Every structure is written in C-alpha cells, then in structure tokens.
Amino acid sequence: MAVGIGDRKGAEMAALNYASYTRNTAEPLKRIAHSRRYEQLLRIVAAPFPGDKVLDYGCGDGHLFSHLVGNVPSDKLIGYDPNADLLAQADPAVIAGSSLTTDINSLKAGHRRSFSLIYCIEVCEHLTDKALDELLDNIIELAAPYARIIIGVPIETGPSGFLKAMYRTAHGHRQAASAIKAVRALFGLPIPRNVTDVEWYGDHTGFNHARLRGKLEDRGLLVKRSACLPFPLFGVALNNEIYFTCSRR
C-alpha cells in the first residue's frame, strides 16, 4: 500500500487504549457520543442481511464486530486496519469470530468485488485527498456490484461544529481548536489543516462532510441517502455524525 489510510490510524489513539479514548472515556459528553454509535448504526443506518459478506474498512479495535459476532458467520466478517496495535486491542470474541488483517494487498487479491456490505467509519475525516482517493479506489475494488457502502464521518460544520470547537477550545484548545475556528466552522468556511502523519490529519477541526460527499460522487459512488446520529430527527444541525449510504455507479 503506497498511501492507504495512513501508516497508522492515529498514533495518539494507538498509544492509548482505543476504547478509553472513545466509548469508555471519562468525559460524559464524549462517552454519550461514542457509546451508542454502533448500536444505532446497525439499527438505523444499515445492518447485515442474511448472506451478506461484511467488511469493516479501517476497523480500529474491531468493536463494530462485537455486535455482529454470532449473528454473521466468521468467514463473512472481515476487518481491515493498517495499524496492528489497534487490531491487537480487539476483544477475544471478535478475534475468534471474524478475520482481522493489516494487509490490504492480500485483502484485494482474495476478495475483489466480493463484499456486499462495507462499513468505513471514523476514517475519511482524517485523510488527505491523496489518501482518500486511494481508500475509495480500494473500497470500489472490494465492493460487489450491488454492495451497500456506509461512510460515517463527524459533523464539524454548522451549529454542531461550532459547539464542538468551543468545547475543545474550553478544554485546552484540543484538536487545534479556537474561538475563531469555531466561528468559521459555524458558517462552513475553510479551516487550514495540518498533516500529522503520512497523508493523515490527526484533528477533526477543519473537516467538511459536504465536501466529502462531493468527493464520494466524483470517485464513482452514488450517495443514495444520509442519516445523522445520535438524534436522527435533528439533521446536521445538532448531531455528532453523518452516515452516507452509497452504492457503486
């Protein structure tokens, strides 16, 4: 893999236990945002149909599969992440009930156009255009002609982006946040981003999901619908994430 999704899926996340940084964090707001994510994803956005072959592209510690092991045959649950340290944090039941790999070339060689359901969650917001192009090329190559492709990213613009930026600013200017950037996020204005790893942005600040949607369609995916979580009725205004359900053109 020349660029892929980065040589590691956030060194700062691997250095910590990924669960402690996300769904098990001590910060109440972050814990609420992360704790229900996969349950809602499967209930509201897309769950496997009988017979689906499932890929989690950029699977981190494989937590999504903890909701699927036992309901989907192990040979039809495959997780890919370039960071072996993150995969090593997977629950033993996930390791036993699925296949996890860091080898994108073997994955493409053995599973070309075979996955009927692909999840790619909390990955695209970190990628430069170069890395994103490669990721989308890989996903299109791995997707069956009729596949459902779920791309999930944070909402970092509008009222939601403003509130996130102000929260980060109040907590030590995390993720390069500032009051000025919060105002720019509110109006969807461009915010410069700094590469912190190989073709990788460590921060969410400056990410724009609307721009990503255009990129998906430019690269050959059809966005059939979108859903915002954790409060679907509120749309993009007061939600943490947006999920695009796509198909190959």
Closest CA to 149 of 160, 165, 137: 137
Across the range 168-186, mean pLDDT stands at 96
Residue 10: predicted pLDDT: 47
> What's the predicted TM-score (pTM) here?
0.90
Give the least confident one: 6-15, 86-95, 102-111, 212-221.
6-15
DSSP state for residue 210 in the 8-state scheme: H
pLDDT tier at 233 (50, 70, 90 boundaries)?
very high
**Looking at the predicted structure, is the pLDDT value of residue 5 above 70?**
no
pLDDT tens track for 66-88: 999 999 999 999 999 999 999 99
**pLDDT score recorded for residue 36:** 83
Q: Is the pLDDT of residue 195 over 80?
A: yes
Check whether 25 has a pLDDT greater than 70: no
Residue 203 has pLDDT above 50, yes or no: yes
Domains of the chain: 11-248 (3.40.50.150)
Strand partners, 7: none
The pLDDT of residue 134 = 97
Residue 19 has pLDDT above 90, yes or no: no
- Summarised one tens digit per residue, pLDDT across range 112-140 is 999 999 999 999 999 999 999 999 999 99
Residue range 221-236: mean pLDDT, rounded: 95
Average pLDDT in the chain: 90
Please report the pLDDT score of residue 9 as a whole number: 45
Structure tokens of 247? 């198909």
| Cβ–Cβ < 8 Å for 80, 54 | no
Q: Alpha-carbon torsion 165, 194, 4, 248, what sign?
A: positive
Alpha carbon distances (Å) from 88 to 12, 83, 95, 154, 158: 15, 9, 9, 25, 37
Confidence of residue 7 (pLDDT cuts 50, 70, 90): very low
